[in-house]
Each structure stands twice: as structure tokens, then as C-alpha cells.
Structure 1
């Protein structure tokens, strides 16, 4: 590798022709097929949240008033 190629890896060619005389259009077609076959990068797996760090148990549950709920709310605890 030349020093110029080491400084800018974006100019490095991912494909090298060993034999033959391919036109730029043919090389572009091969690169398009190879990139389509490789597909997108897999998505990272979702991180598992520990139950110790979960905030859901700390939240108050919804109120469900029933018969006598107002009267019971005034009782001493």
C-alpha cells in the first residue's frame, strides 16, 4: 500500500481484477450484485433490562374505586 492509500481508506478498492479487461460498467454491475447479496447489516439484539433496574414496579397502579371508597379513604391508616 502506498502512504496515500493508508491515509484515505475510502479510496481503497474492495475488489481487484486478476484477469480480463472489464469495463467500468461491468465492474459497477458486479459491485451492485455483491452489495445486494450481502444485504443490510443485522440489527443489534435488544438489551435485556434487569428487573432490579425496571421502573414499572415503582409506578402507582390505577385507582379502582368501589363501593365505599370515599368513606374508606378517610379512615386512619
Structure 2
């Protein structure tokens, strides 16, 4: 038996109805298409937690972040 002759899905336990098998095939097809679209979508998305550009952002007022002693206190003060 070649790979083309073997069934794609095989029920090993239970007696699913045709509607249940159709629902399973629909879900598997949707997942496969979503995975293919994510692969072909271009560059991978970077987690916002891992994005290092947030470390160099400006303050809300647009100026540079305060540095040096007491900077943690000055960072919360309005300008």
C-alpha cells in the first residue's frame, strides 16, 4: 500500500457520523490554511515583550528620558 492509497484520517475508536467527520476535516483544513498563511505572511511577528525598541522610546512629552541619580523619580514627573 503506497502513501497515496492510505486514508488521510482513520477512526480508531467510536462511530462518528458523517457530520462529525466533516466538522473535523473543516477544522483541520482551516488550521492548515492559517498556518500556511502565517508562514507566507512575511517576516515573523516579534512579541511586544521581546521588542527592544521600547527601551529607547521618548517620554510622553517627547523629550529624552531622565538619566543619572534620581532618574526613576523624575521619570514620573510631568515636564
Which TM-score band applies after superposition, normalised by the shorter structure?
A: 0.3 to 0.5
TM-score normalised by structure 2 residue count: 0.37
Which one scores higher on RCO, CA 8 angstroms, separation ≥ 6? 2
TM-score normalised by structure 1 residue count: 0.38
